[in-house]
């Protein structure tokens, strides 16, 4: 029986425990496994290499992303580290011009030291990406790394169009699908080769687990990634794997409610007269609106905005009562952050300003609280921040 997304979230991967009939996959809290004789294992040797609870989660994320192979990590950055370890000294990657600050940091401060370079490109401009690929006569560019919608400006890249050009030239397309989750967008179906996630966000959904994922379809790439996962060792523990499976069961109902609230708030902010600009690909006026509609099942629940000059963003953050000022996103509770000093502080100011990640930008991870309470809190904080 071919199950739909909302059933797969609950029954996908490994559905419960075959041995006891427990409806949940047990937590195999073990680091090692008994061997009956030399080379005689029951399929498990050591929990960095493989653990049944993690394995169930890895099968689940692969199923949801319409991929064949899933890998779970101790954080989104551990997953990204493993993907970047596929490359060699001299290789280059094209990266979207607004990406999570930690992704920029690992490229700029870690992989650059190993001779792996990056070129920042506005990947929402498909023609520009093609031009950069064509200019690479020496074949140094090995991959294009996309976030769509990107963190924090929600810029939308046409994944299918970029992946088509990238594949034609024998390179890889990597998509960070954190903001969308497979509930709204499945990049492998759009032609991407590798999907990465910070599972810490919507997939976990309760701001209580740090985790990351990679999903691929190609067997050779999967073998290389499994090798790297074991060799580097940034794996997700059994208990956190269990919590992730539990969180994913409610992904659908959470995402629907997150998005319903976000759409209402984005429209309310736009019409409020308090804001200079709202970034949200669910608004018809947003440059990414059509592409988002084409490639995803919804615009998601991240909204960024800039208040009008008469409001002080510092006072706004301090005046919030219900909505929490904190790093991260995707939990059931509403969180706001100041990308310039928090999530994107690792990006030099000149690059931030050029891209539009200005000091005034506010990023809002819209939670699933009552919409009227959220509006009331936003409004009172904006009014309190008037200079
Ligand atoms: C889009 C995106 N990718 C990756 C990461 C890194 O994930 P983690 O914090 O789980 O290491 C984040 C974290 O905020 C993110 O927002």
Determine the Cα–Cα distance for residues 377 and 373; give it in Å rounded to an integer: 6
Establish whether 158 is a catalytic residue. no
Same domain for 208 and 285: no
Same domain for 80 and 99: yes
Give yes or no for residue 100 CB within 6 A of ligand 1: yes
Distance in Å, CA 205 to ligand 1 centroid = 13
Same domain for 201 and 263: no
CA distance readout (Å), 233 to 51, 57, 74: 13, 17, 9
Establish whether 112 is a catalytic residue. no
Give yes or no for residue 240 CB within 6 A of ligand 1: no
> Hey, which of 100, 199, 365 would you mutate to test ligand 1's pocket, going by the most ligand atoms within 8 Å of its Cβ?
100
Same domain for 227 and 274: no
Determine the Cα–Cα distance for residues 146 and 122; give it in Å rounded to an integer: 10
Give yes or no for residue 96 CB within 6 A of ligand 1: no
pTM for this structure? Answer: 0.98
Cα atoms in the 13 Å half-sphere on the side-chain side of 387: 8
Determine the Cα–Cα distance for residues 161 and 157; give it in Å rounded to an integer: 9
Q: Which of 225, 249, 273 is the endpoint of a domain?
A: 249
Q: Which of 70, 42, 40 is nearest to 55 (CA)?
A: 70
Give yes or no for residue 207 CB within 6 A of ligand 1: no
Q: Whose CA is nearest to atom 14 of ligand 1?
A: 328
Same domain for 349 and 287: yes
Q: Which of 231, 249, 267 is the endpoint of a domain?
A: 249
Same domain for 182 and 75: yes
> Hey, which of 178, 214, 336 would you mutate to test ligand 1's pocket, going by the most ligand atoms within 8 Å of its Cβ?
178
Residue range 101-131, pLDDT digits in tens: 999 999 999 999 999 999 999 999 999 999 9
Give yes or no for a cis peptide into 152 (omega within 30° of 0): yes
Q: Which of 249, 270, 299 is the endpoint of a domain?
A: 249
Residue range 215-228, pLDDT digits in tens: 999 999 999 999 99
pLDDT range class, residue 5, cuts 50, 70, 90 = very high
- pLDDT surpassing 90 at residue 181: yes
Same domain for 174 and 52: yes
Distance in Å, CA 100 to ligand 1 centroid = 6
Q: What CATH number should be reported for the domain holding residue 274? A: 3.90.1150.10
Domain residue limits at 378: 252-384
Same domain for 243 and 101: yes
- pLDDT surpassing 90 at residue 241: yes
DSSP state of 182: H
pLDDT range class, residue 141, cuts 50, 70, 90 = very high
Q: What CATH number should be reported for the domain holding residue 184? A: 3.40.640.10
Instruction: Summarize the confidence of residues 281-289 as an average pLDDT.
Output: 98
Same domain for 203 and 271: no
Distance in Å, CA 77 to ligand 1 centroid = 6
Instruction: Summarize the confidence of residues 88-109 as an average pLDDT.
Output: 96
Determine the Cα–Cα distance for residues 335 and 286; give it in Å rounded to an integer: 22
Instruction: Summarize the confidence of residues 250-275 as an average pLDDT.
Output: 98
Question: What number of other Cβ atoms are within 10 A of residue 306's Cβ?
Answer: 18
Give yes or no for residue 75 CB within 6 A of ligand 1: yes
Same domain for 234 and 321: no
Same domain for 203 and 58: yes
The answer for residues whose C-beta is within 8 angstroms of residue 137's C-beta and 6 or more apart is none
Distance in Å, CA 19 to ligand 1 centroid = 36
Residue 98, pLDDT score: 84
Instruction: Summarize the confidence of residues 348-360 as an average pLDDT.
Output: 91
Number of domains in the chain: 2
Give yes or no for residue 176 CB within 6 A of ligand 1: yes
Percent of residues, the chain, with pLDDT higher than 90: 97
Mean pLDDT of the chain: 97
Same domain for 222 and 281: no
Determine the Cα–Cα distance for residues 295 and 184; give it in Å rounded to an integer: 9
């Amino acid at each position: 029986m071919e199950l739909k997304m909302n059933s797969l979230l609950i029954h996908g991967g490994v559905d419960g425990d075959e041995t006891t009939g427990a409806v949940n996959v047990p937590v195999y809290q073990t680091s090692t496994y008994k061997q009956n004789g030399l080379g005689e294992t029951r399929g498990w040797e050591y929990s960095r290499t493989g653990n049944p609870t993690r394995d169930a989660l890895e099968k689940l994320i692969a199923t949801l992303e319409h991929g064949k192979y899933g890998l779970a990590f101790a954080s989104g950055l551990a997953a990204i580290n493993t993907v970047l370890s596929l490359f060699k000294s001299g290789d280059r990657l094209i990266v979207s011009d607004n990406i999570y600050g930690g992704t920029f940091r690992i490229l700029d401060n870690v992989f650059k030291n190993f001779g792996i370079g990056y070129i920042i490109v506005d990947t929402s401009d498909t023609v520009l990406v093609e031009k950069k690929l064509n200019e690479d006569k020496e074949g140094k560019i090995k991959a294009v790394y996309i976030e769509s919608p990107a963190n924090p400006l929600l810029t939308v890249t046409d994944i299918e169009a970029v992946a088509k050009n990238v594949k034609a030239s024998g390179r890889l397309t990597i998509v960070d699908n954190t903001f969308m989750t497979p509930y709204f967008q499945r990049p492998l179906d759009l032609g991407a080769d590798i999907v990465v996630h910070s599972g810490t966000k919507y997939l976990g959904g309760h701001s209580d687990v740090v985790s990351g994922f990679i999903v691929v379809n190609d067997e050779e790439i999967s073998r290389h990634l499994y090798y790297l996962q074991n060799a580097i060792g940034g794996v997700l523990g059994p208990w956190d794997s269990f919590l992730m499976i539990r969180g994913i069961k409610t992904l659908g109902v959470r995402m629907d409610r997150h998005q319903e609230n976000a759409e209402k708030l984005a429209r309310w902010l736009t019409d409020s007269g308090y804001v200079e600009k709202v970034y949200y690909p669910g608004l018809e006026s947003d440059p990414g609106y059509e592409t988002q509609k084409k490639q995803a099942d919804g615009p998601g629940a991240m909204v960024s905005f800039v208040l009008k000059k008469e409001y002080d963003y510092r006072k706004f953050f301090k005046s919030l009562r219900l909505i929490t000022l904190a790093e991260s996103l995707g939990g059931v509770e509403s969180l706001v952050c100041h990308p310039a000093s928090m999530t994107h502080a690792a990006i030099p100011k000149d690059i931030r300003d050029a891209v539009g990640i200005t000091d005034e930008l506010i990023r809002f991870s819209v939670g699933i609280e009552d919409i009227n309470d959220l509006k009331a809190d936003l409004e009172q904080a904006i009014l309190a921040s008037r200079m």
